[in-house]
Amino acid sequence: MFNLGMIGVKRLDFLKTRLRLSSLPLPARLAALVPAPATVQADFEVLGCCAQVTRRQNSKTEDKRLLAARRTLLLIGNLRWPFERFFKAAHSHAISKCLYGWLARTPTQKDSWKIWADIRRAQRVHQWANRFLRAILYGGNGHLDCLSGTNLLRIVAKMMLVGQTTWSDRRCAGTPLWSLDHWFSNHGNASDAPYVWKSEHEKFTVNLNRMTVCEARHAARMGWRWYMWQRFLQSGRHECPEVHELCVDRFANFDFTKIRTEAATRPAYRALVTGAMLSPACLQNQNDQTLFPTDCPWCGTPVGHWWHVIWHCNMRPTQLAPPTCPVTARLGWGASQDQIQWLTLASEAIWRHGHGAEAAFY
Ligand SMILES: [Zn+2]
């Protein structure tokens, strides 16, 4: 559509052809490129033939299911349950309301992220937590985008068993295999053999010919997490330049279940692994300097950067050596037990330093 628009606008004068586009943000992008932005419109006409591209609309039933899930999340959020208890209830009572019915197509990205944001608000997760980091750690069992894909995987595997699908169905719009193939291609996986979808690491490759449903879903979740990591690196967060060199092998070896288990009993560590823990120096950038102290809580250096406060300050209560992996140093993923204890203690100290001794995690 974008290319067609470009050709049409370039030949506008001599072909007497009028082109219009409706798929935002393409018209805006096109308008920025052409000398006469007013000529870019929302539908198009070529040699007397008119056409229009519209944004996909949810059906009433789909909207109803999504609304029911969001209302339940709001209700459960009012109960102010602890983190883990809330998450279990959200999965069984809210996400389950909007998880079924995605066979001919998957939910839109917009709707999936809206539900994910509702979970954050209802769970009272700190606003500085990053949505992609949260998705990597907790989305496998709670993000509609991931769950709709792994659900399709289960359905297609079952259809294969009883001979209700053939590989050619991936070309037939509206079949579960077509939806699943689209889901994989939208998340960085490509298919090079029947029922095999490859990603950047062999651990993320899904092969329904030789894997159990459980193994296939695990591999799909890992591939989805790696895709979310790419999205995080593109998000422009201040940590991204420090951690962008993480290789796929190291990522594949992170034990996300262990991280969640450790984070379940340590709110400060949970804040750290989801990106919600900022250094005093970062608070200087985020807020009025008079609101939060920006110095190092150990030695009083005026601007306490993360690496100084956690790993280099001579006055810190431990002299634990910094980890070689920047993601472990910054986000605490893959940290040893000693490192987890220190990162938790340091995070609590930074929090108390910034918000006072009365401030507590929960
Ligand atoms: Zn210091």
Q: Are residues 196 and 278 in the same domain?
A: no
First to last CA, the chain: 50
pLDDT(2) > 50: no
Ligand 1 centroid to Cα of residue 312, in Å, is 7
Ligand 1 centroid to Cα of residue 102, in Å, is 53
Q: Are residues 290 and 335 in the same domain?
A: yes
Q: pLDDT: is 354 or 249 the higher one? A: 249
| Cα–Cα distance, 166 to 126 (Å, whole number) | 46
pLDDT for residue 44: 57
Tell me, yes or no, whether 277 lies in a domain.
yes
Q: Are residues 46 and 69 in the same domain?
A: no
- Residue 233's alpha-carbon distances to 43, 129, 131, 244, in angstroms, are 35, 15, 12, 6
Ligand 1 centroid to Cα of residue 293, in Å, is 13
Tell me, yes or no, whether 242 lies in a domain.
no
Ligand 1 centroid to Cα of residue 306, in Å, is 10
Tell me, yes or no, whether 14 lies in a domain.
yes
Tell me, yes or no, whether 57 lies in a domain.
no
Tell me, yes or no, whether 245 lies in a domain.
no
Ligand 1 centroid to Cα of residue 269, in Å, is 20
Ligand 1 centroid to Cα of residue 295, in Å, is 8
Tell me, yes or no, whether 122 lies in a domain.
yes
pLDDT for residue 302: 86
Q: Are residues 25 and 163 in the same domain?
A: no
Ligand 1 centroid to Cα of residue 307, in Å, is 10
Q: Are residues 204 and 307 in the same domain?
A: no
**pTM, whole model, 2 decimals?**
0.82
Tell me, yes or no, whether 241 lies in a domain.
no
Q: Are residues 214 and 147 in the same domain?
A: yes
Ligand 1 centroid to Cα of residue 299, in Å, is 4
Ligand 1 centroid to Cα of residue 39, in Å, is 59
226-267 pLDDT tens trace: 999 999 999 999 899 999 999 999 999 999 999 999 999 999
Ligand 1 centroid to Cα of residue 260, in Å, is 30
Q: Are residues 73 and 47 in the same domain?
A: no
Ligand 1 centroid to Cα of residue 287, in Å, is 21
90-103 pLDDT tens trace: 999 999 999 988 98
Domain boundary among the residues 171, 200, 233 is at: 233
Q: Are residues 300 and 342 in the same domain?
A: yes
116-156 pLDDT tens trace: 999 999 988 888 899 999 999 999 989 999 999 999 999 99
Q: Are residues 78 and 224 in the same domain?
A: yes
Mean pLDDT of 6-21: 39
Ligand 1 centroid to Cα of residue 296, in Å, is 5
Ligand 1 centroid to Cα of residue 316, in Å, is 7
Tell me, yes or no, whether 118 lies in a domain.
yes
Nearest to 253 by CA among 343, 338, 333, 149: 333
What range defines the domain where residue 222 resides? Answer: 64-233
32-51 pLDDT tens trace: 777 777 776 656 555 655 54
Q: Are residues 86 and 155 in the same domain?
A: yes
Structurally, the chain folds into a number of domains equal to 3
Q: pLDDT: is 13 or 205 the higher one? A: 205
296-338 pLDDT tens trace: 999 988 888 999 999 999 999 998 999 999 999 999 999 999 9
Helix axes 144-161, 213-233, angle to 10 degrees: 150
pLDDT for residue 22: 43
Give the pLDDT band (50/70/90) at residue 3: very low
Ligand 1 centroid to Cα of residue 281, in Å, is 11
Ligand 1 centroid to Cα of residue 302, in Å, is 9
Q: What is the DSSP-derived secondary structure letter of residue 18?
A: B
